[in-house]
Structures are given as structure tokens and as C-alpha cells.
Chain A
């Protein structure tokens, strides 16, 4: 029996994935996609879905896992957007030639470019022409249904190409709508298990996807892929037809026409904006204006012949674009529509409206105005302007509170009440002063402090922050500034132990003279508390929910201090916001080492996070103190290879005192607490053993 529920678009996607019995789900968080994979985690934690759920350390790996699983013949799914999609790019380009029919949801969000969480198609645009099928959803129901349809289409042996399901961030991902959830048996009948023609499995197959072709065949295979795209069109129509017969919902294949029958002009839209555009068309129709609407459902393969047929009937086309092809003067959909119509003997004028960039809302009134302009072009035969940017003034932001004294960081922030990272950064800047440059990978800190610091705050791409820092350092060095500017990161744990690690390791091995500060809140907080490589054993996070099947994070955290020591850098330390004199001393030491050009200084500071660890905000410092007193967070430093444990409590407090303050450990059993206690003791004693060695042997 199918049922109805009210849910956001991201949950609808997750239901589609569940019903498709996806077998392998690699994940990496990014707003506004993350809740898709969180819902999937919940399904698995509670036994509603059986799948490998793999928490990658970055998107490049994440899509690699999906491709690997698909190569081996498993049905794979992942989701991302924006920076994450861009970081996957290389793997995105690889997947089609491996003929891996995986499905990836892209909850659209602006890529880079002055950073916005809101949707435009700058993220999906660079991925369009690599051989994936690219579908845009308008409603939450369409999201659920299209996941199922896309697996059917992609896995069809006439196609065997990966698919992207594009759903607009916020407008769909987080907006609630009534959705019909089909029952499992019906979906099973519609979507049989995936059968790979040439699985990478030497026990059953002598053939597997080729990695390379001689250059002479590249042109041929490009042509073949274009033919595949044409074949995919037929499959798309056939699958939609069959889906409609079984589930009672049809979407129209490559495009959907709305009130186009006698239209003199049409607007062309895609994604969630279509709903407002429909209302605008209705309004103009009431006034007797003959306006229609064409929704581009698939951007790849592109519905060229469908649009040609419409162009033959109408006298003007207005393309609404949420994507700009810089250097061409217009938008992406506009370029595609125009080029599709070029072969017609007679073509109507095509005009382009660029709007809604950065996720700005496109109100119905704007669509009415765009409709009128398109109708006018239809009546005059030529548009006033070919490309128009529909712009609005921003709302005035509240002015800052003027203070007499100039400080490296002013009071106030956007962080949660009681945020420990605020305590850390204020003391960091107190020591380093105004001639500090901060390199910040995306994190809570960027949101919290970007507006109150008076030192340069360089927001770096997540995996490249240590690269940005290296570049800045080398430039300062050749300009004779390296001893006049303190250069430090302010990075979360995700940006340090996971996605940032490769670049940090590179910089450490080259022994670049800058400071790396990691404020460690032991999870991806900015995206809503997903586990990271720094999340401790058994902690509950939104991607390791404690449920019927799962009991929090099953792994221990990475030992970053040893990893950094393996690079033999001159200074490494841990610190705590409850022990500020020790913390300030270590920052000073790091500043001295780097100023002298001796190499990298690495400081790893634990940051209790009330929001993500579930404790009342006033306990931030208390929790940090208990972490040191129980031995969970030993304070130590390694100076030129000599390890010293700075604070040695006469007797470590029982771990329970630390755990019981925090909601993320509420589900723990007595046994689990004992396990943690044993691990903490073992680790703490290991540090003491290393301390006794004097100099670490590999220094």
C-alpha cells in the first residue's frame, strides 16, 4: 500500500533511494544536501534500509566510492552540490566512460563566487557536458519518483550512464510538501536489481570496463556517446510512460509543456522556479495574454527537437536562466536553446532573463514582467534587449557597533551562545595581534567571525586551505614579510583531519613556516553535526545516529599529533580553552618558531560545542576542563621531537564525569563506558611512554 506523508524534498529523495534498494551510499556533508544522507543514515540505523553507508573524508573520495561500487556491480547513490560537486569534478568526468549507472542528487547551491548557500546552477553547469543524464525536479514528489525512474533509465543497457537529479537547495531540499510514498513491492516490480554487463569481478567475468582507448578512437567514442544520449531520450520517454501506468504520475519526459497549445510566446524555465512561473502564466492568461510555459526537465540529453517543434508554433521565447556563462554575455539554458533552434529556417526571437542568482527568490511578479516582455517581443518581432539581468537591491544590514579602540577582533559574533571557538580565536588574536592573516576553510568559524575580525580573513577552499597558506607564506617570504606577518589557519577538525589533510601533510613535509590551528569540535558542526575523523568512539552524530542497528560512531578518532610528528615538524601541541595560559604560551611558541622560519607549527585545540555535543552552553569551559582532567584531552607539546605532557593530573578522573555532561553520549551502555575508559587510559599512558623516550626516535 502506498502512503502519503508531508516531507521536505531531501527526505523525498531519501525515500526514493530507500525504495530503489540502493546498496552502497558514500556520503560527505554539504548544505543544503546533507539531510538527504542523514535521512538515509536514519533509515539504516533503524533497520529500514540495508546498505553500506560510508563516510568519506571528502567528495573526491565520495564519488570515487560510488563509482567503485558501481564498477563491482552494486547499485550506488550519493548526493552533493556546489563546492562538493566541483571537488568531485574529475571523478564526474570518469564515471560515464566506465558506464557506471549510479544516481547522484545535487541539491543546487551557488559554486564559490562570493559564497551563498542559496541555489543557482553555477554548480551543475560545469558538469553538464561530461556524459551524465541531468534531470531537474520541480516538486518533492518528482524528486522521489525521479530517483526510481533514473535508476531504471541509467541501468538500461541501451544507456548505462550515470544520472544527476538536480533539486534546488532550500526551495525543494528544505520545503515541505505532501508526497506519495509508493509501496516497496510495486517499486521492486518496476525496478529489478541492477545487473552489470561487465562487472569488475574476475570470478564471474572476463571483461570489465576499459580505462583507455587509442586517441584515434576518441572521436568515434565521442560520437557513440552522442548516439547513446539520443538513445537515452527514447528510454526516458518509455520509462516515464511505464511509470505513469503503474504509479499514476507522468512527468512528460524531456520537457513539460504548460498552457502551450495556442501560445504566442513561451517562457522556458527549469527546477523549482517553474511553480512561480506557472502562476504568472495563469495570471497573464486571465488577462487574455497567450503565454505558455516550457519546463526543461532534462538538460542532458538536451530536448532539441522538442524545442524546435515549439519554436515553429510560437513567435517569441523567453529563457529564464539561473546560470551565467561568463564571457558569452548570457545564460546557459539560453545558449542551448538558441543553438538548438539555429537549424530552423525561420526562428522566433529568443530572449534571456538572468535572475535568482545566489538563490535569490524569483517572485511571481518578476515572471509576469518577463512574460510581458516576451509577449512584446512576439508582437514586435524583435526584442528590446536580448539578455536582461533582473536585479534587486539588497536589504540593508544592521550597522556594526562603533567602538573607540581598534581590536583584532571585536565583541560579538554569529556563533551559538557559549561557542568555544569564540574563546579560542579571541586568545589566538590576543597573542598574534593585528598583523595576522587568517586562512579559514569553510566552517562555523567563517560564519561566526568573518564580520568581526579586523585582520585579513581568507576563506579558502576546503581541501586547499594549507595550499592557500603556502602560497601566502611564499609570497611574504619573497617580499621580505615572512617575519612581519603571522600566518595561521583557523580550521575545524573536518578541515584538518579529513578533507584538508592531504594539503596539510604536503605543507608539513615541505616544512612551510606557518601556523596551523585546528579548533576541534569533533564533528562537522557547520553542516549540522556529522561525524568526522576526529569524532570520538561511540559519539552520537547526525550521521552516526544511535538507533536499533547502530550505537554511535564505531571508530576511534585519528591521532593527528602522531600524524604531524611523522612529518618531523618543529612544533606540535595540543591545547584546551579551559587552560588559557597554557594555550597562549603555545601560540606564542608557534609564532616564534614560524617567525624564525624554522617550519610548521601545529596546534590542535579541543573545542567543546554546546550545540553539537548537547550540553548547556554555560558548561563549555567545564567540559573542556574535564576533558583534560579525565585524560581524554591530554595537554602536550612536541618541540623538535621532544614530547612533553604539560599537565599531569595526579589521578585521572573517571571518564564518566566527562561523558555524563554530554547528550552525545547519553545512549552509552555500561560496557561502552568501560571500553572508552580503557581506551583513554591506554592512550594517556602511551603519551607518558613517549615522553620517557626523550626525543622521539624518528626526529
Chain B
């Protein structure tokens, strides 16, 4: 839980938050369905990335969206917002 990230104290009894120890939060295990992007259809508008609540979508080298599944909760917002319906929520393999 966010509130409970703290660092060991240097000054006795003084718990501190240390931004240099922060990073992304792994939430991939929350997911039931995962977004699958049809790159044929995708126009690279990146609206999915703009709306993704978890900032799980980044642009790849081709300027197209790519989902970092470590941060994807499978909410489906990207799929719902895609103007050309290029993202489908699917069951993951395995």
C-alpha cells in the first residue's frame, strides 16, 4: 500500500518517504482479460495510452502503442476508447 512505503530511518524514529526508492507498481496479477492490439487497424493515435489509468501503454519504435503487462489491470478502457476498435480484450494464454 502506498501509504506504507517508507525507508529505514537515519534519524532515530523518523520514518521517511524516499522518492529515489520508488518505481512502478506491479499490478499485472489483477488482470482477467488483456488488451490485444490489431496493428493493422491501429492508426497510432495513442488515445489508448492517454486514457490508460495505469500508464501501462507506451509507444514502440514504430510509434504504435504497446502494453506493458506488468502494469495492466485489464480494465478495458483502452479498448473502449479506441476510435477504430483496434484493441480487443482477450483471455491470455497459459
Interface residues of A (CB under 8 A from B): 114-115, 397-403, 409-415, 417-420, 422-423, 426, 446-457, 459, 577, 580, 610, 616-622
Contact = CB atoms under 8 A, between A and B. Distances in A.
7 contacts: A114-B15, A402-B24, A411-B25, A417-B53, A417-B75, A423-B53, A610-B75
B18 to A, nearest CB: 10
A399 B26 CA distance: 9
Given A422-B53, A616-B76, A412 B25 contact: yes
SS of A interface (majority): loop
A400 to B, nearest CB: 3
Q: Which of B15, B54, B56 has the most CB of A within 10 A?
A: B54
B76 A454 contact: no
A452 B53 contact: no
B15 to A, nearest CB: 7
B79 A620 contact: no
A401 B2 contact: no
Interface of B: 1-5, 15, 17, 19, 21-27, 30, 50-56, 68, 70-71, 73-77, 79-81, 89
A577 B81 CA distance: 12
Contacts of A617: 75-77
B51 A423 contact: yes
B17 to A, nearest CB: 7
Given A411-B54, A454-B22, 18 more contacts: A114-B15, A398-B26, A410-B55, A411-B55, A411-B56, A413-B2, A414-B25, A418-B53, A423-B52, A426-B53, A449-B2, A450-B1, A577-B51, A618-B89, A620-B75, A620-B77, A621-B80, A621-B81
A448 B2 CA distance: 6
A47 to B, nearest CB: 39
B30 to A, nearest CB: 6
Contacts, number: 125
A621 B71 CA distance: 19
Given A417-B75, A446-B2, A617-B76, A454 B54 contact: no
- Pairs of residues from A and B, 8 with the lowest C-beta to C-beta distance, nearest first: A450-B2, A618-B76, A400-B23, A412-B25, A451-B2, A418-B75, A422-B53, A401-B24
A601 B5 CA distance: 31
A621 B1 contact: no
Given A419-B53, A450-B3, A621 B77 contact: yes
Contacts of B23: 399-403, 410
Contact of B24 (A411, A423, A449, A577): A411
B35 to A, nearest CB: 10
Given A422-B53, A619-B80, A412 B24 contact: yes
B79 A618 contact: yes
A398 B26 CA distance: 9
A450 B6 CA distance: 11
A448 B80 CA distance: 23
A260 B41 CA distance: 78
A606 to B, nearest CB: 15
B30 A414 contact: no
A454 B53 contact: no
Contacts of B71: 401, 411-412
Contact of B55 (A115, A399, A409, A618): A409
A618 B79 CA distance: 8
Contact of A397 (B4, B22, B68): B4
A451 B3 contact: yes
B75 A446 contact: no
A616 B74 CA distance: 12
B88 to A, nearest CB: 12
Contact of B51 (A409, A413, A457, A621): A621
B24 A618 contact: no
Contact of B75 (A409, A452, A618): A618
B25 to A, nearest CB: 3
A122 B25 CA distance: 32
A402 B25 CA distance: 9
A619 B74 CA distance: 13
A459 B73 contact: no
Given A459-B3, A618-B80, A451 B25 contact: yes
B53 A413 contact: yes
A454 B19 contact: yes
A413 B25 contact: yes
Nearest to B81: A621
Contacts of A456: 17
Contacts of B74: 417
Nearest to B55: A411
Nearest to A616: B76
A420 B53 contact: yes
B22 A400 contact: yes
Nearest to B23: A400
A454 B55 CA distance: 15
A344 B22 CA distance: 57
Contacts of B4: 397, 451
